[in-house]
Chain A
Amino acid sequence: MDRNIYLVDTQDARGETVLDENLLRAVVKVNTLLTATITGCLCGLGLFAATWLSLNRGLPDPGQYMNLLGVFMPGYEVSPTGAWFGLIWGGVIGAVAGGVLYRFYARDIRSHVERFLQLDSDGDETWNPIVSIGGNALGIALGAVVACGLILTTGWLVLRGTADESVNARLLEHFLPGYSVSLPGSLIGAVQLFILVYLSCLLWSWIYNKIVSIRHR
């Protein structure tokens, strides 16, 4: 049987019930806003907390590595004032990344809604209470965001003219063979990072969906 779905009673020219596009767009908009809020809060507060943790660990040079973030976030350093800069920068970057991530993910939302809300054999609308996560869509979305982040940060180091001094960025070569602090190197690294993130998301969503379906039984 065809899976005709509907969120409200709307019909197309052939008289079949279809998704309410306006409602779907509104849901995507709300979820984008909320995802951006959550990731912004997590990144901002996370960086704020990490800065204070570094300050209070009693290390001889607490900002030895974290101060390097100041290259990408002007004003940031491991100090009480720098922690507030970290809160703002982390919030902004996290919110933008989260919003873009959800927008990418939501390109596949129609199929998720179709799985979630489907007609039973009698043609009645029934709720399928298992909300699954699309690993493919999430992998593409998160992989794209992270890969773009790597290209942008490496590009920034190259533009500043400090690529040769970026010994810490070069450490990525250990995990991303072919990566180097140069534009071609960042592209190779971005492709590898995309694949790594994509596979991780597939595994993550598989575990998540499996647990959810087991709990539903």
Chain B
Amino acid sequence: MAVATGTIASLLLCAATVILLIKGPVAGTDVGTHLRLLGIYLPGFTVTWIGSLVGAGYGMLLGMCFGSVVAIMWNFTHYLYITAMVMRASWLRLMVD
């Protein structure tokens, strides 16, 4: 799940940057005025061709972290729920006996 999510996040961030670069700047502004704000949180990210590669790397890293967290939480909550159900069933069986 981490690799799949990382790949998608990487592609999306790279594509978003490339689309802005291809479309060029809107009259009176620089290209990617808002997207470049991601650079505040992702040091090195800029709306340039090299920046798109840096963004792809960050997308991969963050996507993998996000995917891992989701997978861990999914497994952990199911583990907790099933454990609770088994314990409850055992307790009820004990009470009946």
A residues at B contact (CB < 8 Å):
30, 34-35, 37-38, 41-42, 53, 57, 59, 65, 168, 171, 174-175, 200, 203-205, 207-208, 211
Contacts and interface: CB of A to CB of B under 8 A. Distances in A.
Interface of B: 1, 3-5, 7-8, 11-12, 16, 19-20, 23, 34, 37, 40-41, 69-70, 73-74, 77-78, 81
Given A34-B78, A200-B8, A207 B40 contact: no
B34 A203 contact: no
Contacts of B16: 175
A120 B73 CA distance: 33
A208 B40 contact: no
Contacts of B1: 208
Contacts of A37: 77
B83 to A, nearest CB: 13
Given A30-B81, A174-B20, A59 B40 contact: yes
Contacts, number: 46
Given A30-B81, A207-B3, A211-B3, A38 B8 contact: no
B81 A34 contact: yes
B19 A174 contact: yes
Contacts of B8: 200, 203-204, 207
A35 B4 CA distance: 19
B34 A168 contact: yes
A194 B6 CA distance: 20
Given A37-B77, A38-B74, A207 B4 contact: yes
A42 to B, nearest CB: 7
A204 B4 contact: yes
B34 A34 contact: no
B47 to A, nearest CB: 11
A37 B16 CA distance: 30
Given A35-B74, A171-B34, 9 more contacts: A30-B81, A34-B78, A38-B77, A57-B40, A59-B40, A174-B19, A203-B7, A205-B4, A208-B1
